[in-house]
Amino acid sequence: MKITKSVTKTFNNLPLNIKEKVTLPYLILGIILVIGAAFVVTRVVFDTIEERFTNQLLEAGILASERIVVEEGQMLKVLRLLAYSQGVPEALENNEPEKLRELTFGNIVNNRQSAVIFLDAQGNVVLSTYHVDGGNIEDYEFSTGGASVFMDQPFVQSVLHGITDESGNKFSGYVRSDKGDFLFVSGPVVDSDRKPIGVILVGRPLSDLTNQLREETLAQITFYDFDGKPLASTFLTTSQLTPLEVTQILRNQNNVSYMESNNRKIEVRNIGYREIFAAWEVREGKDLGVLGIALGESFLVSMTSITRIHITTLAALVFLLIIIIGFILSNIITKPINELVEASKKVMSGDFNVRINPSSNDEFSVMAETFNKMIKNVNESRNQILEAYDITLEGWSRALDLRSEETKGHTDRVLQLMDKMCVLMNIEGSKYSHIRRGTLLHDIGKMGIPDSILNKTGKLTEEEWEIMRNHPTFAYELLKDIHFLRPALTIPYCHHERWDGKGYPRGLKGDEIPIEARIFALVDVWDAISNDRVYRKAMTKNEAIKTIEEGAGTHFDPELTKIFLTLVDQ
């Protein structure tokens, strides 16, 4: 065993590549063993290369299609944020482009949107906003009025005519304009009576989308229209499809076997590529054209029956030597592979901090370093996405604060108190992140409450209270389908439940109420009674403490109340 470990260590430290390390022992043992090993490697490595290449090409196609759906979803989120921003409907209805720009520019920059267009109810351009190509993040061009290339687009006409489908009243399409080819998502802007008064379009250049898909799938990407003409591509030059080919591709878009067989070989700069095709789909499976995905072809090797006979004959002659050497080599070769496999499993389970320590000076070392860089980049991208999500949530929260003048600053104050409670109760990690997001969104359901009730200066009537009590349910309905926000739903949905079961909307009691919501109930009430409102003055600190103490066991969790009052005393 000690000899095996010593040989393995020495072999790993040799400055040879994998092929040389595999070949060297066979050279030592003789020409016959070298030939046998070469044939074995050929059989093991190259017999399935065609299948692997095809699978990799199909996987790249699936990833590209899914990424387009994700991008469309991101544009929809921005569209909804802009459409429901305070003051936007009024500015659009009154044809005030400067005010529109003032109200929406911050959200457009924060969400890094390439193009945002505002149309009035007749389809005329009120304000168009385009990011300057190659400029800084805040560099945008603005224009107002003028001829509209959007008015006659079917996906815009659907919004203008109030058409809805199974996915709602938002529609997608691409537009060829003097700014380039863009993928747009369109949706209505409505006034306080839910009457459509205009259209918002959020778009991204197809050229940017192809480059992003190229980075994420490592494949060459091309968008084709229904006539087979390339709209955007990561190739410098590409040939078009015939309309008949486009029709056949769209007709068989759900047939995987057709996708495997229906491909073409192309050559760019003396590099051979194989391209497969999928439907370019948007909302509700609507086809906008064809998506082409291409990968460089590998060198394919096939085996003959004579080769198999040679391998069998040579294997019989050197059987014992192969067993001994094969055992040593398998330990040497499979060790770094097994490390890579185990590290990959950890990544699949959610551990993005895993790293591989290279133990040799060959391709496996390069693979380990590449894997470490890849996981680092994935982790950074993941953190950037989470940061972007959190920035969006803060934007939602700020939008709600701006809508309700009475509670301005309320979110910032309760967020600070919740942070301190989490520190006091040793809540950290992902649970803390979900609590923070839930705090930011705790009153997001009030977006569904009419201004006449939300900003009423006097006491609410019983009927108005019934409407106001719906805001936790509105929050749940708004956020439940957003997978990222499901763990944060407990605070927006349950923060008005009471310890004695007399709260709303579900009448939960005691420990049935999630602990995050029980903590937030204390923080929310404390902030409400400690700050001025239009119908009353803020309580003194002693009065507020007494109110919280009196609510222990009825409104609040008694144990959490003790912890909270400790924080207040500090």
- Among 211-220, 351-360, 556-565, whose mean pLDDT is lowest? 351-360
- SS3 (DSSP) at 204: strand
Largest distance between two CA atoms of the chain: 99
pLDDT confidence tier of residue 98, bands split at 50, 70 and 90: very high
Q: Last residue of some domain: 236, 268, 300? A: 300
Q: What is the pLDDT of residue 300?
A: 44
pLDDT of residue 5 exceeding 80, the answer is no
pLDDT of residue 33 exceeding 60, the answer is no
Q: Last residue of some domain: 253, 284, 300? A: 300
Q: Does residue 524 belong to any structural domain of this protein?
A: yes
On whether both 140 and 255 belong to a single domain, the answer is yes
Q: Does residue 18 belong to any structural domain of this protein?
A: no
pLDDT of residue 308 exceeding 60, the answer is no
Q: Last residue of some domain: 300, 325, 343? A: 300
Q: Does residue 210 belong to any structural domain of this protein?
A: yes
Q: Does residue 156 belong to any structural domain of this protein?
A: yes
Instruction: Map tokens 């590549």 to a residue.
Output: 17
Give all strands of the β-sheet with 115-120 in edge-to-edge order. Answer: 140-143, 125-131, 115-120, 196-205, 180-190, 171-177
Please state, as a whole number, how many other Cβ atoms lie within 10 Å of the Cβ of residue 251: 11
pLDDT of residue 234 exceeding 50, the answer is yes
DSSP one-letter string for 392-434: HHHHHHHHHHHH-GGGTTHHHHHHHHHHHHHHHTT--HHHHHH
Give residue 335's identity as a one-letter amino acid code. K
Read off the DSSP letter of residue 443: T
What CATH number does residue 237 fall under? 3.30.450.20
Q: What is the pLDDT of residue 54?
A: 73
Give the span between the Cα atoms of 94 and 120, in whole angstroms. 9
Give the span between the Cα atoms of 529 and 531, in whole angstroms. 6
Question: Between 485 and 335, where is the model more confident?
Answer: 485
Q: Does residue 214 belong to any structural domain of this protein?
A: yes
- SS3 (DSSP) at 346: helix
- Nearest alpha carbon to residue 66 among 226, 386, 293, 261: 293
Give the span between the Cα atoms of 230 and 240, in whole angstroms. 6
pLDDT of residue 202 exceeding 90, the answer is yes
Q: What is the pLDDT of residue 281?
A: 83
Q: What is the pLDDT of residue 560?
A: 92
On whether both 431 and 548 belong to a single domain, the answer is yes
Give the span between the Cα atoms of 275 and 224, in whole angstroms. 13
User: Do the Cβ atoms of 187 and 176 come closer than 8 Å?
Assistant: no
Question: Between 289 and 482, where is the model more confident?
Answer: 289
Range with the largest mean pLDDT of 143-147, 197-201, 362-366: 197-201
pLDDT of residue 498 exceeding 50, the answer is yes
Q: In this structure, what token pair is assigned to residue 251?
A: 């007709």
All residues at 6 or more sequence positions from 86 whose CB lies less than 8 Å from its CB, including other chains: 103, 399, 402, 403
Q: What is the pLDDT of residue 407?
A: 55
Please state, as a whole number, how many other Cβ atoms lie within 10 Å of the Cβ of residue 81: 21
H or E stretch covering 43:
helix 31-46
Question: Between 105 and 330, where is the model more confident?
Answer: 105
- Nearest alpha carbon to residue 329 among 53, 137, 567, 44: 44
pLDDT of residue 212 exceeding 80, the answer is yes
Question: Between 396 and 155, where is the model more confident?
Answer: 155
Give residue 149's Cα distance to chain centre.
Answer: 31
Instruction: Map tokens 């005010």 to a residue.
Output: 99
pLDDT confidence tier of residue 304, bands split at 50, 70 and 90: very low
User: Do the Cβ atoms of 160 and 121 come closer than 8 Å?
Assistant: yes
On whether both 408 and 296 belong to a single domain, the answer is no
Question: Between 426 and 331, where is the model more confident?
Answer: 426
User: Do the Cβ atoms of 495 and 435 come closer than 8 Å?
Assistant: no
Cis peptide before 243 (omega within 30 of 0): no
Question: Between 532 and 473, where is the model more confident?
Answer: 473
- Among 190-199, 232-241, 297-306, whose mean pLDDT is lowest? 297-306
Give the span between the Cα atoms of 369 and 107, in whole angstroms. 39
Q: Does residue 184 belong to any structural domain of this protein?
A: yes
- Among 261-270, 273-282, 323-332, whose mean pLDDT is lowest? 323-332
Q: What is the pLDDT of residue 22?
A: 52
Q: What is the pLDDT of residue 192?
A: 82
Q: In this structure, what token pair is assigned to residue 234?
A: 């990561």
Q: In 356-391, which positions are buried (b, 16+ CB within 10 angstroms) versus exposed (e)?
A: bebbbebebbebbeebbeebeeeeeeeeeeeeeeee
On whether both 75 and 195 belong to a single domain, the answer is yes
Predicted model pTM: 0.45
pLDDT confidence tier of residue 199, bands split at 50, 70 and 90: very high
Q: Does residue 394 belong to any structural domain of this protein?
A: no
Please state, as a whole number, how many other Cβ atoms lie within 10 Å of the Cβ of residue 564: 27
Q: Which domain holds residue 433?
A: 404-569
Tens of pLDDT, residues 161-181: 888 877 778 888 888 888 888
Please state, as a whole number, how many other Cβ atoms lie within 10 Å of the Cβ of residue 194: 7
Give me the mean pLDDT over the 283-300 stretch. Answer: 76
Give the span between the Cα atoms of 308 and 66, in whole angstroms. 43
pLDDT of residue 499 exceeding 90, the answer is yes
Q: What is the pLDDT of residue 501?
A: 92
Domain total for the chain? 2
Q: What is the pLDDT of residue 497?
A: 93
Tens of pLDDT, residues 414-427: 888 999 999 888 98
Question: Between 392 and 441, where is the model more confident?
Answer: 441
Q: What is the pLDDT of residue 349?
A: 62
Please state, as a whole number, how many other Cβ atoms lie within 10 Å of the Cβ of residue 283: 19
Give the span between the Cα atoms of 560 and 200, in whole angstroms. 46
Q: What percent of the chain has pLDDT over 90?
A: 13
On whether both 110 and 251 belong to a single domain, the answer is yes
User: Do the Cβ atoms of 199 and 188 come closer than 8 Å?
Assistant: yes
Q: In this structure, what token pair is assigned to residue 111?
A: 């969400």
User: Do the Cβ atoms of 86 and 102 come closer than 8 Å?
Assistant: no
Give me the mean pLDDT over the 449-455 stretch. Answer: 79
Q: Does residue 363 belong to any structural domain of this protein?
A: no
Q: What is the pLDDT of residue 502?
A: 92
What CATH number does residue 417 fall under? 1.10.3210.10
Give the span between the Cα atoms of 116 and 451, in whole angstroms. 27
pLDDT confidence tier of residue 301, bands split at 50, 70 and 90: very low
On whether both 81 and 220 belong to a single domain, the answer is yes
Give the span between the Cα atoms of 551 and 546, in whole angstroms. 9
Tens of pLDDT, residues 40-90: 555 554 555 666 777 777 787 778 878 888 888 888 899 889 888 889 999
